[in-house]
C-alpha cells in the first residue's frame, strides 16, 4: 500500500462537512485519519479496529445500547476479517435539535429515492445513507448493510443533555474489491443542511505482502 497514489490522492480530498451537525465514525486509522486498512484474514492487522469499537461500546452509558439493533456490528469481531463494520454517531452538541425531513423541505429534492419511499410511509427519522464517493468507488464498494435497517434515528432523542449519549448506527461493507482504496461517503438526512463524513477502506489481499 505504500506509495499507492489512489490512497494519497483521495485522502487529500476528504474533508468533513462544514454544514449541519458533525458525524463521527469508529474505527478510524492512526491519528484519527479516516482510513481503515488491514490485511485480509490477518487478525493482528485489524485487531486495533476491533479494540476501538470495543471501547466505544463498553462506555458506561453505551452499555445501555441495545446491541441486537447493531446486528453483527454489535459483537466482536464486528465483521473484521471479511465484512468490516463502521459505527456512526452524531457528535454530541448540547442544545442541538432537528426535525425529520419532509416533502415540503428545502432539502427534500436531494434525498435518495429509497429514503423518499420511507418518508412516504410516514417514517419520521434522521436517515443515514452510505455509498462510494466517486463512480469508481461505487463500482468497487460491493454491498452495504445497515443496522438497524432502515438506518434512522428518532429526532425526539435530541437535544441531548450532559448525561445523554448519541444513538449509534452501524454500516457493514462486504463483497468489495480487495487491493483497492475505496472512498466511502455517508450522509445523514434531516430538515437542515446534510451532514456527511468520509472514510477510506483498503483491504490487502492475503497473498500480497505489505
Q: Where are the domains of the chain?
A: 5-204
Give the integer Cα–Cα distance in Å for 44 and 20. Answer: 37
Distance spanning both ends of the chain, measured CA to CA: 6
Residue 12, pLDDT above cutoff 70:
no
Residue 162, SS3?
coil
41-87 confidence digits (pLDDT tens): 889 999 999 999 998 888 755 655 677 889 999 999 999 988 999 99
Could you say which DSSP state residue 185 is in?
Answer: E
Q: Are strands 35-39 and 125-132 parallel, antiparallel or unpaired?
A: unpaired
Give the integer Cα–Cα distance in Å for 52 and 86. Answer: 10
In sequence order, the β-bridge partners of residue 173 are: 144
**Highest mean pLDDT pick, 5-9, 47-51, 88-92, 161-165:** 47-51
Supply the pTM of this predicted model: 0.83
163-205 confidence digits (pLDDT tens): 777 889 999 999 999 999 999 999 999 988 888 888 999 999 8
pLDDT confidence of residue 206: 79
Out of 2.60.40.1660, 1.20.1630.10, 3.90.180.10, 2.30.30.360, select the CATH number for domain 5-204. Answer: 2.60.40.1660
pLDDT confidence of residue 131: 93
Return the closest-CA partner of residue 204 out of 183, 172, 181, 171.
181
Burial 16-34 (b: 16+ CB within 10 A, else e): ebeebbbbbbbbbbeeeeb
Residue 142, SS3?
coil
Amino acid at each position: 500500500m505504500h506509495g499507492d497514489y489512489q490512497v494519497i490522492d483521495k485522502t487529500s480530498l476528504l474533508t468533513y462537512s462544514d454544514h449541519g451537525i458533525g458525524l463521527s465514525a469508529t474505527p478510524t486509522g492512526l491519528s484519527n485519519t479516516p482510513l481503515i486498512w488491514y490485511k485480509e484474514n490477518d487478525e493482528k492487522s485489524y485487531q486495533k479496529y476491533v479494540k476501538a469499537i470495543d471501547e466505544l461500546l463498553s462506555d458506561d452509558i453505551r452499555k445501555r445500547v441495545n446491541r441486537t439493533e447493531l446486528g453483527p456490528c454489535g459483537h466482536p469481531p464486528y465483521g473484521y476479517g471479511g465484512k468490516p463494520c463502521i459505527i456512526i454517531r452524531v457528535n454530541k452538541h448540547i442544545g442541538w435539535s432537528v426535525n425529520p425531513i419532509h416533502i415540503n423541505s428545502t432539502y427534500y429534492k436531494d434525498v435518495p429515492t429509497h429514503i423518499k419511499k420511507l418518508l412516504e410511509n410516514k417514517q419520521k427519522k434522521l436517515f443515514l445513507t452510505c455509498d462510494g464517493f466517486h463512480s469508481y468507488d461505487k463500482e468497487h464498494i460491493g454491498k452495504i448493510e445497515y443496522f438497524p435497517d432502515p438506518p434512522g434515528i428518532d429526532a425526539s432523542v435530541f437535544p441531548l443533555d450532559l448525561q445523554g449519549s448519541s444513538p449509534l448506527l452501524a454500516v457493514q461493507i462486504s463483497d468489495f474489491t480487495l487491493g483497492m482504496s475505496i472512498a466511502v461517503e455517508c450522509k445523514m438526512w434531516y430538515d437542515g443542511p446534510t451532514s456527511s463524513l468520509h472514510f477510506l477502506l483498503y483491504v490487502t489481499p492475503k497473498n500480497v505482502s505489505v
